[in-house]
């Protein structure tokens, strides 16, 4: 192996939207990042990082990197731009914002952002600007919200098992969670636990890398997990495998739950889920009798119409068995509750002006972007500012989104690190720093450690951080509020100054500077109160008990599930050649039976389509998917797709049962062969 040539090593933190929030080492030579490794001193990362971020230097200095502000000189979508200066770019955006606000009202301006960076400063710093402007508010609902709401109804807050304890678990279920690809260090704890005799069960609609690593892989029909959870609870109650003392002390509504469970005997549940009756019984018995047991609830199961309730049902299980009392026992969906920071101080919703009749600016659900751009008229969206996100690739119902972004009367500004599919529709493109180039504070939605990262290299080209750009925009808009002069340190201090969260006690900026990675002040054992019956849900118009509602779409065609792949991070990294090479090409996995029925052979170019749109993919015939289900992994850039459109051409922009969540995977398509 060639020896790496570098002159400096800088500690950093991975800013991507991934549970692990790894400690990184950036190897720097002549001011350029030349290699990326894992930080051996980060207690969770322990020197090991995923096979995608190890190539991050190729994104940071790659051919798609934006280095100058640009203005559009061709039709929307074509990607023809010419460089302009920062003054002209900021002046154009502020000028258009002022014009549009004067003609249509400030609500006609829409910010659109998600999790390009998870840094608290650069994720949140746009909020205060758009609040002050009076722009439409954005409901950031594309990822995990439905399940998180369902979990919180059940267990009170987004807090669960500390993953660092799960190497001591003896029964581990990954439920709709692709740990090998999407949460590698959870997988490391699973392997440690297995070496000590733990059993590892995976419940998924297809056998991915995590299913391959399981002791027992249980395939299930999409969107039916809520019923499986009810069936497991039925068996646990019927066979008296529950912990009565725990239930009496730590739960609400056990009797009501028991009457509900009568409707879910294993035979009926087998018919709904496709999981054989004997497997349901066996899983319930094993789960209830091996402690500590741990369920890692993934985001896959909640990207369905019934996703919130599905997570709620699963989150009831550890309270039946008393698993929470054991170290490494319980469940977790998200641990973001431990890291709650002073969001009001950072985002400043108090800056929002009230409209004449006293109401706050309207809220737009980010999952309804296409619909919003094409159909909303009171007022219409006339200007949009995208940062930390690539909606042309990741948002559902892509055909509508692209039609909306193509509107000649829409002004679009996009701030990104690289030239994305969304940038191609922009009137003005702004170059952003990567997390290697700016200061930020990081938390994890999985482990309980917080960290601060300072720049490892100078900004590439003329790129600027979100913080710096919003500072410039605020000045150009004439906003004089003091908060628009805040430094990253000011915002980090505001975030951490939050006595309402006891877990932040003693987590200070000085300590983060000194120690780099700081463990939250969190108890080693979290025991929630579990609401089998939830008054709050009844008040909010939901069934107060765990329930199962089948997916709405007519039972015809194939269900197309499009979860993340191993080498991309949503659409980020999907432009790095070395990673595209490792990922291969965009495929459609289908069963031999479904292939035969349609005359499809291995490697054929096929079209998956429905009334929303069509996507072309290469067929891969495999027993990893069940008949009736087809899978395409990864959000590929349009330029890498044989038909020029992504999987989101087909995905619905309906809204999940809770929180306004996305329903990417409740998606029916027809599949046909195009060419050999
Ligand atoms: N390599 C990689 N890692 C990532 C990401 C990435 O793009 N690539 N993205 C990051 C982000 S933003 C997120 S939200 C997480 C997502 O990572 P996870 O939380 O693991 O969620 P998904 O990968 O969306 O889905 C997990 C599994 O759920 C399955 N699934 C889909 N529908 C159902 C169902 O009805 N029932 C069951 N039982 N399973 C179902 C899918 O087939 C998939 O294998 O990963 C993060 N980490
Ligand atoms: N079909 C299908 N669609 C999906 C999913 C799926 O499983 N299937 N997953 C969904 C999920 S869970 C999620 S979370 C979303 C993810 O949706 P997004 O959050 O939009 O994720 P990315 O596609 O990675 O786009 C993030 C963009 O932010 C940019 N960026 C990074 N750092 C910075 C910065 O500091 N400043 C600025 N201005 N830009 C920056 C990156 O270059 C990148 O282009 O996708 C969703 N879409
Ligand atoms: Mo996500």
Q: Which of 182, 213, 296, 575 to mutate to test the pocket of ligand 1 (most atoms within 8 A of CB)?
A: 182
Q: Which ligand 2 atom sits closest to the C-alpha of 17? A: 14
For the CA of 469, the nearest ligand: 2
- Ligand 1 atom with minimal separation from the 17 CA: 12
Query: What are the angstrom distances between the C-alpha of 163 and each of 15, 209, 458, 471, 530?
Result: 19, 20, 35, 38, 20
Report yes or no: 420 and 572 within 8 Å, Cβ to Cβ: no
Would you call 95 helix, strand, or coil by DSSP?
helix
Instruction: Please give the pLDDT value at position 676.
Output: 81
Length of the chain counted residue by residue: 676
> Which residues are near ligand 3, the ion (C-beta closer than 5 Å)?
143
Contact at 8 Å (CB) between 152 and 540? Answer: no
Residue numbers of the chain with a pLDDT score lower than 70: 1, 355-357, 553-555
Helices (H) and strands (E) in the chain, counts: 23, 27
Pairing of strands 605-610, 70-72: unpaired
| Cα–Cα distance for residue pair 577/416, rounded to 1 Å | 19
- Measured in Å, residue 126 CA sits from the centre of ligand 3 at 20
| Tokens 């207690």 belong to residue | 43
Q: Region of 458 please: left (phi>0), alpha (psi -120 to 50) or beta.
A: beta
What are 104-150's pLDDT values in tens digits? 999 999 999 999 999 999 999 999 999 999 999 999 999 999 999 99
Separation CA 129–CA 118 (nearest Å): 18
Q: Are 24 and 39 in contact (CB under 8 A)?
A: yes
Q: How far is the CA of 336 from the centre of ligand 1 (A)?
A: 18
Phi then psi for residue 137, to 5 deg, are -85, 155
Pocket test for ligand 1, best of 563, 567, 622 (most atoms within 8 A of CB): 563
Ligand 2 atom closest to the CA of 569, numbered from 1: 24
298 lines ligand 1 (CB under 6 A): yes
Q: Spell out the alpha helix ranges (H) of 532-657.
A: 535-539, 577-583, 592-597
pLDDT at 199: 98
| Ligand 1 pocket, residue 18 CB under 6 Å | yes
Whether 526 is in the pocket of ligand 1, judged by its Cβ within 6 Å, is no
How does DSSP classify residue 293?
E
Looking from the CA of residue 435, the nearest atom of ligand 2 is: 35
Mutate which of 571, 651, 654, 662 for ligand 2 pocket (most atoms within 8 A of beta carbon): 571
pLDDT at residue number 355: 65
Separation between Cα atoms, residue 394 and residue 111, nearest integer Å: 16
For residue 375, give every residue at least 6 positions away whose Cβ sits within 8 Å of its Cβ, in sequence order, or none: none
CA–CA separation, 602 vs 94, rounded Å? Answer: 53
Q: What pLDDT is recorded for position 555?
A: 66
537 lines ligand 1 (CB under 6 A): no
C-beta separation of 388 from 466 below 8 A = yes
Largest CA distance in the chain: 72
CA distance 251 to 120: 34
Q: Which of 14, 18, 175 to mutate to test the pocket of ligand 1 (most atoms within 8 A of CB)?
A: 18
Q: Which residues pair with 386 in a beta bridge?
A: 112, 414
C-alpha distance from residue 642 to each of 91, 135, 530, 586 (Å) = 39, 38, 49, 8
The CA distance from 656 to 306, in Å, is: 6
- Burial degree of 382 (CB within 10 A; 0-12, 13-18, 19+): buried
Ligand 1 contact, 130 CB (< 6 A): no
Of all atoms in ligand 2, which is nearest to the CA of residue 122?
A: 35
Q: Work out which ligand 2 atom sits closest to the CA atom of 117.
A: 32
Q: Which residue has the tokens 């047991």?
A: 293
CA of 570 to the centre of ligand 2 (A): 5
Q: What domains are there in the chain, each with its CATH number? A: 8-60 (3.30.200.210), 70-143+344-436+461-486 (3.40.50.740), 145-333+528-535 (3.40.228.10), 558-673 (2.40.40.20)
Give residue 651 CA to ligand 1 midpoint distance, Å: 15
300 CA closest ligand 2 atom index: 7
Residue 208 near ligand 1, beta carbon < 6 Å = yes
DSSP string, 302-369: GSSTTHHHHHHHHHHHHHHHTGGGSTT-EEES--GGGG---HHHHH-GGGPPPPTTSPPPPEEEGGGH
pLDDT at residue 128 in the model: 98
Q: What is the number of other CB atoms lying within 10 angstroms of the CB of residue 510?
A: 8
CB of 301 shorter than 6 A to ligand 1? yes
Distances in Å between the Cα of 109 and the Cα atoms of 123, 372, 403, 602 are 19, 12, 18, 47
Residue keyed to tokens 């390009």? 116
Side-chain half-sphere exposure of 4, counting CA atoms within 13 A: 13
Give φ, ψ of 150 to 5 degrees: -60, -40
**C-alpha distance from residue 319 to each of 162, 252, 323, 546 (Å):** 16, 10, 7, 13
CA 476 remoteness from chain centre: 33
The C-alpha angle with vertex 462 and arms to 575 and 407, in degrees rounded to 5, equals 60
**How many Å from the N-terminal Cα to the C-terminal Cα in the chain?**
40
What whole-number distance in Å separates Cα of residue 245 and Cα of residue 224?
31
Task: Evaluate: CB of 649 within 6 angstroms of ligand 2.
Answer: no
Paired tokens of 578: 């070395």
Distance 176 CA to ligand 3 centre (A): 13
Q: How far is CA 377 from the centre of its chain?
A: 30
For ligand 2, the distance from its centroid to the CA atom of residue 205, given in whole angstroms, is: 24
414 Cβ closer than 6 Å to some ligand 2 atom: no
**Residue keyed to tokens 């619905």:** 652
CA–CA distance, 320 with 532 (Å, rounded to integer): 9
- Of 311, 366, 319, give the one whose Cα is nearest residue 158: 311
Choose the residue to mutate in 300, 569, 582, 666 for probing ligand 1, maximizing ligand atoms within 8 Å of C-beta: 300
């Amino acid at each position: 192996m060639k020896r790496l040539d570098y002159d400096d090593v800088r500690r950093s933190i991975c800013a991507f939207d991934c549970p692990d929030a790894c400690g990184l080492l950036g190897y720097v030579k002549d001011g350029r990042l030349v290699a990326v490794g894992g930080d051996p001193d980060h207690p969770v990362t322990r020197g090991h990082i995923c096979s995608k971020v190890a190539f991050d230097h190729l994104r940071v200095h790659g051919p798609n990197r934006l280095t100058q502000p640009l203005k559009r000189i061709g039709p929307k979508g074509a990607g023809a731009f010419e460089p302009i200066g920062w003054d002209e770019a900021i002046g154009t955006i502020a000028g258009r914002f002022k014009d549009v606000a004067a003609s249509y009202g400030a609500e006609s301006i829409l910010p659109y952002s998600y999790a390009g960076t998870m840094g608290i400063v650069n994720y949140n710093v746009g909020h205060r600007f758009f609040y002050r402007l009076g722009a439409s508010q954005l409901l950031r609902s594309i990822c995990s919200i439905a399940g998180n709401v369902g979990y919180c109804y059940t267990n009170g807050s987004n807090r669960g098992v500390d993953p660092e304890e799960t190497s001591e678990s003896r029964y581990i279920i990954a439920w709709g969670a692709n740990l090998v690809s999407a949460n590698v260090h959870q997988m490391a704890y699973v392997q440690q636990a297995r070496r000590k005799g733990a059993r590892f069960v995976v419940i998924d609609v297809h056998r991915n890398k995590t299913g391959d690593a399981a002791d027992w892989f249980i395939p299930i029909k999409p969107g039916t997990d809520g019923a499986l959870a009810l069936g497991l609870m039925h068996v646990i109650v019927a066979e008296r495998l529950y912990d009565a003392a725990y239930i009496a002390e730590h739960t609400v509504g056990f009797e009501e739950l028991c009457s509900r469970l009568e409707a879910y005997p294993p035979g009926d549940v087998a018919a709904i889920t496709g999981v054989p009756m004997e497997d349901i019984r066996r899983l319930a018995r094993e789960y209830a009798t091996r402690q500590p047991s741990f369920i890692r609830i993934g985001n896959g199961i909640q990207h369905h119409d019934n996703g919130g309730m599905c997570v709620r049902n699963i989150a009831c299980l550890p309270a039946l068995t008393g698993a929470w009392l054991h170290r490494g026992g319980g469940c977790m969906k998200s641990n973001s509750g431990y890291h709650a920071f002073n969001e009001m101080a950072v985002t400043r919703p108090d800056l929002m002006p009230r409209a004449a009749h006293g109401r706050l600016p309207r809220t737009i659900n980010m999952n309804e972007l296409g619909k919003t751009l094409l159909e909303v008229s009171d007022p219409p969206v006339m200007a949009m500012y995208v940062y930390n996100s690539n909606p042309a690739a990741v948002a559902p119902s892509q055909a509508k989104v692209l039609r909306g972004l193509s509107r000649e009367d829409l002004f679009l500004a996009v701030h990104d690190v690289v030239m994305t599919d969304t940038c191609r529709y922009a009137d003005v493109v702004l170059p952003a720093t990567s997390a290697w180039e700016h200061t930020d504070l990081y938390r994890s939605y999985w482990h309980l450690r917080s960290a601060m990262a300072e720049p490892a290299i100078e900004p590439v080209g003329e790129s600027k951080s979100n913080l710096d750009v919003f500072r410039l925009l605020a000045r150009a808009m004439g906003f004089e509020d003091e908060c628009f002069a805040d430094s990253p340190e000011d915002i980090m201090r505001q975030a951490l100054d939050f006595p309402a969260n006891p877990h932040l006690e003693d987590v200070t900026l000085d300590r983060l500077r000194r120690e780099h990675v700081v463990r939250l002040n969190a108890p080693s054992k979290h025991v929630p109160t579990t609401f089998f019956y939830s008054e709050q849900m009844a008040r909010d118009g939901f069934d107060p008990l765990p329930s199962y509602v089948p997916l709405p779409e007519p039972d015809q065609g194939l269900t197309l599930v499009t979860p993340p792949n191993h080498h991309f991070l949503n659409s980020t990294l999907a432009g790095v050649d070395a990673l595209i090479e490792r990922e291969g090409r965009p495929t459609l996995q289908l069963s031999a039976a479904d292939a035969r029925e349609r005359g499809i052979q291995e490697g054929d170019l096929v079209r998956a389509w429905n009334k929303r749109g069509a996507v072309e993919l290469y067929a891969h015939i495999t027993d990893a998917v069940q008949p009736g289900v087809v899978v395409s992994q990864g959000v590929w850039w349009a330029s890498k797709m044989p038909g020029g459109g992504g999987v989101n051409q087909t995905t619905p922009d309906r809204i999940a049962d809770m929180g306004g969540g996305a329903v990417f995977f409740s998606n029916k398509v027809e599949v046909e062969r195009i060419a050999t």
